[in-house]
Amino acid sequence: MPTTLTETPPQSLETGPWTVASAPEGWDWLPGYGLYEQTDAAARLNLIYTWDQLGEAADLMAYVERQKEALATLVSDITTLGAEAVKAAGYDQSLHLGLVLNRDSPEEVWQEQLYLRLGDTIGILTASGPAAQRDRLRAALRLGLKVASFSQD
């Protein structure tokens, strides 16, 4: 992940259906992608905003399973910590997913992902960081959702 900003830091982020109006205290912009925590790089948490289309998947769970299969072609080891439907007002479906990538290796990364479906559009918010920060990922995910809006407008 980049650790430096452009010469003129953005004041907001608009990426597809996501809008982040401001960076919360203690966080800074990862231009074009999301936010990163202003702390030592080895302990840094990141919030990444992405989106996709439901495509051929029957529902959100099928979409997430397809995404995990695609990720498995890029990462040597994926441990799923659980996937559960969650209630998020205003969305057709929402799902929380926990992952560990490359467990017990120097490249180990913990992730919590929130998938939000509006019609055929999927908004994905990913909180990621090192194992030492795994207990803070859920709070980072909530913060990431609090400062953002996801809509089809």
Per-residue pLDDT at 31: 85
One DSSP character per residue, the chain reads ---S--SS--S-EEETTEEE--PPTTEEEETTTEEEESS-GGG--EEEEEEEE-TT-SSHHHHHHHHHHHHHTT-S-EEEEEEEE---TT-SEEEEEEEEESTTSTT-EEEEEEEEEETTEEEEEEEEE-GGGGGGHHHHHHHHHHTEEE---
% pLDDT > 90, the chain: 62
pLDDT digits (tens, 9 = 90+) for 19-32: 998 899 999 998 88
Task: Flag whether pLDDT at 4 surpasses 60.
Answer: no
Q: Which long-range contacts (CB under 8 A, 24 or more apart) does 35-39 make?
A: 35/144, 35/147, 36/1, 36/3, 37/129, 37/140
pTM for this model (two decimals): 0.88
Residue 68 tokens read as 């995990």
Using CA atoms, how far apart are residues 34 and 76, in angstroms rounded to an integer? 25
Domains of the chain with bracketed CATH: 13-150 (3.40.1000.10)
Mean predicted lDDT score pLDDT of the chain: 88
Q: Which residue has the higher pLDDT, 2 or 139?
A: 139
Least confident of 1-15, 76-90, 116-130: 1-15
pLDDT class for 9, splitting at 50, 70, 90?
A: low
**Band (7; pLDDT cuts 50, 70, 90):** very low
pLDDT at 153 over 80: no
Residue 5 has pLDDT above 50, yes or no: no
Q: How far apart are CA 103 and CA 37, in angstroms?
A: 22
Write out pLDDT tens, residues 54-77.
999 999 999 999 998 888 888 888
